Structure 1
Amino acid sequence: MSGKRILITGAEGYLGSIIAPFLIECGYEVTGLDTGFFRDALLYTVSPYRVVQKDARDFTVEDLKGIHGVIHLAGISNDPFGDLTAEAIYDPTREYALHIAKLCKGKGVRFIFASSCSIYGKGTGVFLDESGEVHPQTPYSKNKLEIEEGLKRLADQHFSPIALRLSTVFGLSPRMRFDIVINMFVGMALTSREIVLNSDGLAWRPNVDIRDVARAFQAAVESEYSEPELLIVNIGRDDNNLKIRDIADLVAGETGGVAVKLLKENPESDKEGLVKSQVVQDGVDTRTYRVSFAKMKKWFPGFKCLYDVESGVRDLIAGLRELKLDAKLFKDRRFYRLQKIED
């Protein structure tokens, strides 16, 4: 395993800031490629790794020299963006993802795409697997699906790309995100002694600790998969499929029994506009799905997710307390992707 050279696009984001140092610790030689937009959005010091400042749209075959595998994280991770159309935002990310994949195909380089379980969108109550129907509810999710479809068309006997459909990620990262559900709930509980839900909390979500995400990408790098089609694998664990309200109650319990409120009934609790979501209408979030991870166990037999939500939340609470997280830092717009980009 050691000595393999891995290129990570979007290496200076929430995920890349954990994945890159982890792979280096495991003996890989890692190079990041990033625009640097979030470089200074640091909650704490990041372990050093080499990053080439470059836009993914400018990726060339020269960037693949000596590379064993590409982990493609670069993209846009929020909906919506003011007056910009979804096409204006997401079409370029699809184009450069597939451009990089084509270059990898030409050079015999493994291509691993960070997809999302949000593609499932609106489930029917059953546990969804990779062969089931998908109903993406947002431009972000539709973009992930479009890239998967493009990779399916590229795959052949000489190119076996992998798409990891990540559950909703949570956990501590140097380039923190407080705009994702568990991280936001923990930040609220620690800094304001209340948790505010932007919906009724009845929607289901699969969740995965960011440390397990790093290990999943390593498993994909080491996989001997060589079939002439795109391998799609859900990443998570069965017992981390939880309702939003149950997650809030768990976090509340782990932080001393803080209050859980609904934004619809307490609009004054979101003066900064960090909690409200335009995807949620009248307190209802249509994005609700539970996911099966049986295929992950088949294709990555030596891998399993180690952290359930309860243990991951406890570690996150301990980490944020050690960093002395306060309300000012928690509400810093650098840690909210939409707000940071708008600024």
Structure 2
Amino acid sequence: MRVLVTGHRGYIGSIVTPLLRAAGHDVVGLDSGLFALCLLGPAPENPPEFDVDLRDVTEAHLQGIDAVIHLAALSNDPLGSLAPQITHDINHHASVRLAHLAKNAGVRRFLYASTCSVYGSAGADLVREDAPLRPLTPYAESKVRVEDDVAAIADSGFSPVFLRNATAFGFSPCLRADIVLNNLVGRAVLTGKVRVLSDGTPWRPLVHVQDIAAAFTYALTAPTDKIHCAAYNVGTEANNMTVEQIAGAAADAVPGSTVLVTGDTGPDPRSYRVDFSAIRSAFDGYDPQWSVADGAAELYENYTRWGLTEYLFSERFTRLNHLEKLLAAGVLDASLRFQLIGAGCE
């Protein structure tokens, strides 16, 4: 199958792409390069690729493509809050436009990377895909809008599937330090302390980036009549944990580190536990392999192996800080488009 992966040089994309290629798929990448050089360890081998902003995609980029895996986005809540309108322009409008272009080009399957944060504040009960959606941030709201708008153009020749990923964790060549477990393990390595600024009580569903990648590979080949225009939570119930429990797993992985719950920011309204039974039923054989403890150990091993430093952690691997730095340097304009060539990361 010929597959276009948007955001192939990002945190998830740099794991998805080699997995697809190993499975025998013909992969083409599409990425603007905002984070392409934000690497820890060896650079991944990229497939043939289009170096283009998602907002500038044309139908020509989609000719001959059988399926799209759409990962590209401004990819977390603080980043979305930096520029809410740009978040909607990229995450919502450009994503829906991409789906229309794909349909016009004859693409038959469109796999969209959504998020479990669409459930917002759902409390301690396990939420399924039919639960009310209560997005609390521009990032989560943009994901809900894309699901609605892309579902509206589904038909017998164009089959979208919405994969609502739990909060990702785990090592990737294009590292992110601004997601909860990755952040807490990094802080433990650099300071010896796992500091939790909230009261530690909110629930989070977590899923390893390798298990996210596996879900997309299963979704590529699942029977259309079984998954057409459906949403699936991606993860495992075993990784529904409170923030304090996640902090404990980070501390356990880093020798000599301790947990400090400060409560400085008070309770976090984003709290939800997720039911993942639907994806196991729909994708025969899909079974997430990574526990939070295993992921914390993997992160510790790679952080120490590749020489993580405070500068790398705070400036290169924190998406918001990285973009603010590029904006201040004039590398990006106010719309987050490149003004200088080849400056994805120092």
Q: TM-score, normalised by structure 1?
A: 0.89
Amino acid of the structure 1 residue aligned with 2:319: R
Amino acid of the structure 2 residue aligned with 1:122: S
For 1:233, the equivalent position in structure 2 comes to 232
**Cα distance change on mapping 1:228 and 1:105 into 2, 3 Å:** farther
C-alpha distance in 2 between matches for 1:46 and 1:214: 18
Secondary structure at the counterpart of residue 186 of structure 1? helix
Post-superposition offset of 1:262: 3.4
Asked whether the 8 Å contact 1:76–1:90 carries over to 2, the reply is no
Secondary structure at the counterpart of residue 226 of structure 1? helix
Post-superposition offset of 1:202: 0.4
Task: Determine which of 295, 299, 303 is the counterpart of 1:312.
Answer: 295
Post-superposition offset of 1:88: 3.8
Q: What does 1:67-82 align with in structure 2 at a 5 Å threshold?
A: 67-80=65-78
Secondary structure at the counterpart of residue 188 of structure 1? helix
**Cα distance change on mapping 1:328 and 1:75 into 2, 3 Å:** closer
Secondary structure at the counterpart of residue 205 of structure 2? strand
For 2:334, the equivalent position in structure 1 comes to none
- Deviation per residue, 1:99-139 (Å, 9 max, x gap): 11112223143100000000011113210000111111111
Secondary structure at the counterpart of residue 27 of structure 1? coil
Post-superposition offset of 1:93: 2.7
Amino acid of the structure 1 residue aligned with 2:205: P
Post-superposition offset of 1:149: 0.7
Amino acid of the structure 2 residue aligned with 1:308: S
For 1:6, the equivalent position in structure 2 comes to 3
C-alpha distance in 1 between matches for 2:311 and 2:130: 44
Tell me, yes or no, if structure 1 residue 340 matches structure 2 residue 322. yes
**Cα distance change on mapping 1:228 and 1:306 into 2, 3 Å:** closer
**Cα distance change on mapping 1:215 and 1:319 into 2, 3 Å:** same
Secondary structure at the counterpart of residue 159 of structure 2? coil
Asked whether the 8 Å contact 2:161–2:227 carries over to 1, the reply is no
Asked whether the 8 Å contact 2:215–2:286 carries over to 1, the reply is yes
Measured on the aligned residues, the alpha-carbon RMSD in Å equals 1.9
Task: Determine which of 303, 306, 316 is the counterpart of 1:323.
Answer: 306
Asked whether the 8 Å contact 2:2–2:64 carries over to 1, the reply is yes
C-alpha distance in 2 between matches for 1:299 and 1:227: 7
Asked whether the 8 Å contact 1:206–1:236 carries over to 2, the reply is yes
Tell me how many residue pairs correspond in the alignment: 323
Matched residues, percent identical? 37
For 1:46, the equivalent position in structure 2 comes to 43
C-alpha distance in 2 between matches for 1:7 and 1:210: 19
C-alpha distance in 2 between matches for 1:65 and 1:85: 32
C-alpha distance in 2 between matches for 1:229 and 1:316: 36
Task: Determine which of 266, 269, 289 is the counterpart of 2:272.
Answer: 289
C-alpha distance in 2 between matches for 1:56 and 1:201: 36
**Cα distance change on mapping 1:14 and 1:83 into 2, 3 Å:** closer
- Deviation per residue, 1:3-33 (Å, 9 max, x gap): x211111111111111112211222221111
Asked whether the 8 Å contact 1:17–1:46 carries over to 2, the reply is no
Post-superposition offset of 1:209: 0.5
Post-superposition offset of 1:78: 3.2
Structure 1 stretches lacking a partner, 5+ long: 266-281
- Deviation per residue, 1:197-243 (Å, 9 max, x gap): 12111000000011111111101111112369521000000100000
C-alpha distance in 2 between matches for 1:300 and 1:84: 37
Asked whether the 8 Å contact 2:109–2:160 carries over to 1, the reply is yes
Asked whether the 8 Å contact 2:197–2:261 carries over to 1, the reply is yes
For 2:16, the equivalent position in structure 1 comes to 19
Tell me, yes or no, if structure 1 residue 150 matches structure 2 residue 132. no
C-alpha distance in 2 between matches for 1:7 and 1:86: 27
Q: What does 1:120-269 align with in structure 2 at a 5 Å threshold?
A: 120-226=119-225, 230-264=229-263
Asked whether the 8 Å contact 1:233–1:295 carries over to 2, the reply is yes
Amino acid of the structure 1 residue aligned with 2:302: G
Asked whether the 8 Å contact 1:159–1:226 carries over to 2, the reply is no
Structure 2 stretches lacking a partner, 5+ long: 326-346
For 1:31, the equivalent position in structure 2 comes to 28
